[in-house]
Amino acid sequence: MKDFVKEVLVSEENIEKRVRELGIQITEDYKGKDLMLVGILKGAAIFMADLARSIDIPVTMDFMAVSSYGNTTQSSGVVRIVKDLDTSIEGKDILIVEDIIDTGLTLGYLTDNLTKRGARSVRICTLLDKPERRKVNVPVDYRGFIIPDEFVVGYGIDYAEKYRNLPYISSLKEEVYS
Ligand SMILES: O=P(O)(O)OC[C@H]1O[C@H](OP(=O)(O)OP(=O)(O)O)[C@H](O)[C@@H]1O
Ligand code: HPA
Ligand SMILES: [Mg+2]
């Protein structure tokens, strides 16, 4: 066990199994539709790569980058678009792919923003959901796991840009923050 890991909350095996299940469900729901996956950088990059390969219909993929956390464990509350989509999404069925929904500020802003661009539908797929921390109510259509109110890292998710390459989801020892 890496010495900065406090507790493994979701194992590599459980992530793999759940991603496969989500892919099957999304494949069913979007058959015959023009599905575009929108991954939210950087946290969702790893989830997006695995999820896309578990979906069995043709999809298009693009990425956006927004930032609200910076190098802290607290959301600033201000969502800023750092990288926008490359193409118009008018008439498309959009599935936003996120690593984690915490306060809901990021996804609340993004759902609104993408809906206003004339998408046919905008839905949300998040690997992790931390409902205890919610400030903005956002409808989650596909959810990997519900987790307790702990700051987590791994499988794409960072603390101060580190630990994204852990293959599982874990909490960090207190000394990492100090
Ligand atoms: O529900 P919220 O409280 O808004 O938090 C969730 C968002 O915060 C993190 O992104 P971050 O700003 O850290 O960017 P990153 O993905 O590049 O790490 C995470 O990846 C989500 O996008
Ligand atoms: O628990 C978290 N870990 C890392 N980044 C985050 N952004 C929102 N919640 C989290
Ligand atoms: Mg982050």
Q: How far is CA 159 from the centre of its chain?
A: 15
Dist. CA 173 → ligand 3 center (Å): 17
Domain CATH for 80: 3.40.50.2020
Q: How far apart are CA 70 and CA 62, in angstroms?
A: 22
Return d(Cα 65, Cα 98) in angstroms, integer: 11
What pLDDT is stored for residue 69 in this prediction?
A: 64
The predicted pLDDT at position 93 comes to: 98
Tokens 């921390």, residue located: 133
pTM reported for the whole predicted model: 0.95
Q: Note the pLDDT of residue 95.
A: 98
Mean pLDDT of each 10-residue bin along the chain, 178 residues long = 90 98 98 97 97 98 86 74 96 97 94 96 98 96 97 96 97 90
Determine the distance separating the centroid of ligand 3 and the alpha carbon of 161, expressed in angstroms: 6
Residue 78: the pLDDT is 81
Determine the pLDDT at residue 125.
Answer: 98
Residues with C-beta atoms within 5 A of ion ligand 3:
69, 158
Q: How far is the CA of 46 from the centre of ligand 1 (A)?
A: 14
Residue nearest to atom 10 of ligand 2 (CA): 151
Distance from C-alpha of 105 to C-alpha of 124, rounded to nearest angstrom: 13
Nearest to 34 by CA among 111, 87, 81, 75: 87
pLDDT given for residue 80 in this prediction: 87
Q: Are 142 and 29 in contact (CB under 8 A)?
A: no
- For residues 105-133, b (16+ Cβ closer than 10 Å) or e, as one string? bbbbbbbeebeeeebeebbbbbbbbbeee
Asked about 149 being catalytic, the answer comes back as no
Residue 145 structural domain: 5-176
Q: Is 43 in the pocket of ligand 1 (CB under 6 A)?
A: yes
Number of domains in the chain: 1
